Structure 1
Amino acid sequence: MSVKNNGCAIEMRHVSVLGGLCVLFGMSGSAWSMDPLFTGQSVPVTPAQMLDNGNVQGCEFGPLTDPLPLQEAVERSLCNNPKTREAWAQVKIQAAGVGIDRSAYLPTVSATWQGVTDETVTNVTGYPQYSSRYRNSMLKTDSVSLSWVLYDFGGRKAALDNATALLAAARASEEAALETVFAAVAKDYYAAQAAQGALTAAQEIERTADDSFKAATVRVDKGIAPVSDELQAQTSWAQSIVDRTKAEGTWQVALGTLTSDMDLDPSTPVTLPGVSDGVAPDNEFSESVADLIQLAKRSHPSVVAAEEQVEAAVAKVAQTRAEGLPSLSLVAKYSQNNEPTTLAVGVPQFPATGHEWYLGFELTIPIFEGFGRTYQIRQAEAQTELQRDTLDEVQQQVGLDVWTSYQGLQTATHNLGNTEMLLDVAHRSYAAAQRRYQVGVGNILELLNTQSSMAVATRQRIQALTDWRSARLQLAAKLGKLGMWDIIDQSSMGTR
């Protein structure tokens, strides 16, 4: 019969001794309660630690701030998004793998203890005087064994190199996942902010259309404008109501997407700050796009992860080869027992104790493995080739992503100035058309056209502002240089 105690499986007859050893060596239910080989130092304290610069304390949050700043939305997403937590778990897995391979350099010591009740009955046919029956209430046997691999032609080193490279790859993959989530939530945040701005603009346009409708009604009532002016103005006002209703729906969908990024219920109420015109593009992108592409191909976390996967595959080849070579181990054992002894059949048993020990070396030489080792090596070499091809693919994709994001940022930057000019002209045109119509020298079509143009220009201005803010963060993500500092310092992304 066996029992499990916090991961320590022991035979029931061994509970008194091995149960104590489990406590002695700290084999508790907490996976990270003991870290004698110091692998936990490679594991971030929180899923967001690699990007938050220590700003998030334990990923603990209170109610949503009103209005919600971008930094808080990003911090909540980095801590709570399933993708970042999955990447964090992968780092833990690989860190534990490093610990496993480090432990191969240490000796293994095992202890066994056995306590049994023994009864021996011997019935000698025809000679009852030689028959016997002995009962021993407690026979004990205990032993301690040691095994220590001294030399294995580099197998342990290759295994540790493989695990270390996989850990580095996991950390780089976690950083890439964090930047991906960071960029995604920033994009969703600005999309929600743009939708909120579009709703505000739609509400303003509805009020403007209502004013135009009322002005047309007054002129019709006075007999200085045809009824068609009133009907056209009423149509424009009704259309503005439809547009405002659609804007409300788009805004709610965008807010639901943002709250989902933060692992909140989509129906969670959220208020965002308004779109400000005070943000201007920085001029810190002094490098050419070709230089930026080369920078990303060298330092982007996804590229680093792919490079570490190649190193891990190379180490796996060496490990596989070494496992087919001899190994030399130090072995030792000591055991003792209190089993009674007898000199002959029918002679009473006498109490006795005994012990045994040995110390020496054990040489293990794999002679024939059915050619399995050959194909294991071929498989590992093919895996290395695959990882090299994957690295080339990742570098190619990173280069394309940087190019696309760079062009998007350039377009968004130019559109800031264009939309600012367009909005200014549209406002002045509408004001002029409104005055002309009020004094009777303009017509309703002119007023409604300028009103529509002002609505389009307002929406384009809002979209241009949020597009630029999102585009600068998207380029930072594609460069592998995205961090909280890009939110805190709005002009600091540049060529850092």
Structure 2
Amino acid sequence: MRRLLHGLLACLLWCSLPAEAYEPGILGTTKGVRHQAVHDDVRANMSCQFGQLPKQLPLAEVIERILCQDPQTRLSWAHAKIQAAQVGLSQSAYLPRLDGRLSSGQTDRFGGAHRRYDTASLELSWVLFDFGRRSAAMRNAHQLLLAANANQDATLQNAFAQAAQIYYDAQAAERRLTASVQIANLATQNLDAADARYKAGTTAISERLQAQTALSQAHLREVRDRGALHNAIGTIALRMGLSPNVPLQLAVDPTPLPDTHFVKAIDKLLSQAHQEHPALLAARAQLQAANAAVEEVRATGLPSVAFTADLSQGRNMTNGDTGEQSHGIGLQLTIPLFDGFGRTYQIRNAKARVEAEQANLANAEQQVALDLWTHYQTLSTETQSLQRTSELVDQSRQALEVIQGRYHSGVGSMVEVLNALTAYADAEEQHTQTLNHWQTSRLKLIASLGQLGFWAL
């Protein structure tokens, strides 16, 4: 009796330990959780351990630091681990269930007599057959894990695109500031030339005032562009988990630009996205999970067969510590007969969820196709615009140099110089904006294919 009590007590204490004490994957469900995008093996298993900031911060390191700090990526990973635990829960239904009980007490009788007793028992129950209920539940959990992994992939790609966007915005702010400083220097040269001509008596005071106004406008633009750059750099620092006052210097723009070898005919891109986009993979997995849930609910209304065994031992303290022991094994057949029509409405609920997931899949397919078409056309337009704006910058710079040279030689007017300077400034702004749009459109197109990752850099 004592051996049974001690053994049962030890079993109960071990089984009641916190889950963290023995969780590391008895059923191996944690292996089903992905740590990164399936298509991106360039930086496998990011450690999220970084040293000192480099003098020139490259785009890849900025993105990696932001991904490690982004709360949405951690949230999606946690959801995937939650669903992995659900897979383990569905697998555990195939294992036997062992329960132990300890009890001690007394019963009072008429006349003041009482009876003290101690009992210990073990009960084993093992479901052998249930018409596919457990297998349907496991398929449901497994499909939901696939959906969670796909959603994690989509979240990573979204955070990746946002990180690249703020980096490209910061680079655009640097280019704008560089152009503003250059324009301010040109405006200073124009003012010096106008002042020299005014002092020589070859021009009116109005031209000098026009040059002075243009210089003030150039300084104002420089101040605003410098503030925009500080804002963009501070945003990057905050997203990386650093203080916004940390001095950061971005790497120089890549030369030549990243390639676009992945761009194919639109029909091929649509087919590729239909097969690989994480939003579609998640929607398909959720639909399969909903179908499995219907089968699971239906199976709850069917019989089940379980193997049962029990062992108990008691001790009567009243009659000289007499003990009694019992044990038994058998098969238990459970037949659900009536549950108040609850199962009928559970099946209706499950079927309605299937319809909802079918509509969700159709909506996801349409949205992926629309996004892909939009970004495909945008990249095509920006690619052509980038070449034209580059030509426009060269042409406007040459025109400005010619007109400035004529003005410094005493020919022409300040109006011509200022018009040429304005045209050059506009051309630089258009080129900077177009380059920024091209860079982001390229990454958005890759994201529309469901393949955005470090390889794209």
Report if TM-score (shorter chain) is over 0.5.
yes
**For 2:441, which of 459, 468, 471 is the aligned residue?**
471
Cα distance 1:133–1:411, how it changes in 2: closer, same or farther (>3 A)? closer
Name the CA distance, whole Å, in 2 between partners of 1:303 and 1:191: 30
Aligned match of 1:422:
392
Identity between Structure 1 and Structure 2 (%): 39
1:491 alignment partner in structure 2: none
CA distance in 2, matches of 1:335, 1:472: 71
Pick closer, same or farther for the CA change 1:302–1:185 going to 2, 3 Å. same
More helix by share: 2
SS of 2:128 mapped into structure 1? strand
Aligned to 1:344: none
Do 1:140 and 1:339's aligned partners in 2 also have CA atoms closer than 8 Å? yes
Q: Which residue of 1 aligns with 2:291?
A: 314
Offset, 1:30: 2.6
CA distance in structure 2 between the aligned counterparts of 1:155 and 1:336, rounded to whole angstroms: 35
Instruction: Report the secondary structure of 1:353's partner residue.
Output: strand
Distance 1:374 1:437 in 2: 90
Hey, what's the Cα distance between the residues in 1 that align with 2:99 and 2:19?
21
Residue matched to 1:326: 303
> Counterpart in 1 of 2:344?
374
Question: Match for 1:482 among 449, 452, 457?
Answer: 452
Aligned partners of 2:39 and 2:451 also within 8 Å? no
Q: Which residue does the alignment assign to 1:250? A: 228
User: What residue is the counterpart of 1:150 in the other structure?
Assistant: 128
Give the partner amino acid of 2:196. Answer: V
Matched, 1:339 2:316: yes
- Inter-partner Cα distance in structure 2 for 1:22 and 1:79: 41
The aligned counterpart of 1:203 is 181
The corresponding residue for 2:158 is 180
Q: Give the counterpart letter for 1:220 in structure 2.
A: Y
User: 1:316 aligns to what SS in structure 2?
Assistant: helix
Measure how far apart 1:241 and its partner are: 1.2
Structure 2 counterpart of 1:30: 20
1:111 alignment partner AA = G
1:355 maps to a residue whose letter is: Q
Residues 263 and 269 in structure 2, CA contact (< 8 A), matched pair in contact too: no
Contact 1:121/1:132, CA 8 A, preserved across alignment: yes
2:196 and 2:9 map into 1 onto residues whose CA distance is 94
For each residue in 1:426-476, what CA deviation from the matched residue of structure 2 results, as whole angstroms up to 9, or x when unmatched? Answer: 111111112111111122111111112222222222233332222211110
Pick one of 82, 87, 96 that aligns with 1:98: 87
Q: 1:448 to 1:151 in 2, by over 3 A?
A: same
* Number of aligned residue pairs: 454
Which residue number corresponds to residue 383 of structure 2?
413
How far off is 1:162 after superposition? 0.3
CA contact (8 A) 2:136 2:293 kept: yes
AA in 2 matched with 1:34: P
Note if contact 1:47-1:88 (Cα within 8 Å) is conserved in structure 2.
no
Q: Is the 8 A contact 1:49 1:56 kept in 2?
A: no
**Counterparts in 2 of 1:34 and 1:17: CA distance versus 1, 3 Å:** farther
| Structure 2 CA distance for partners of 1:250 and 1:150, relative to 1, 3 Å | same
**CA distance in 2 between partners of 1:66 and 1:31 (Å):** 44
Within-5 A mapping of 1:263-282: 263-276=241-254, 278-280=255-257, 282=259
Preserved CA contact (<8 Å) 1:73 1:185: yes
Higher relative contact order (CA 8 A, sep 6+): 2
Q: State which drifts further: 31-40 or 382-391.
A: 31-40
How well do the aligned residues superpose, as a CA RMSD in angstroms? 2.6
Unaligned runs of 5+ residues in structure 1 are 1-14, 125-130, 342-348, 488-496
Partner Cα distance (2:228, 2:331) in 1: 75
Amino acid corresponding to residue 426 of structure 2 in structure 1: V
Name the TM-score, length of structure 2 as normaliser: 0.92
TM-score, length of structure 1 as denominator length: 0.85
Instruction: Kindly provide the amino acid, as one letter, of the partner of residue 273 in structure 1.
Output: A
> Which residue matches 1:216?
194
1:164, distance to aligned residue in structure 2 (A):
0.4
Per-residue CA deviations over 1:387-406 (Å, capped at 9, x if unaligned) read: 00000000000000001111
1:455 lines up with 2:425 in the alignment = yes
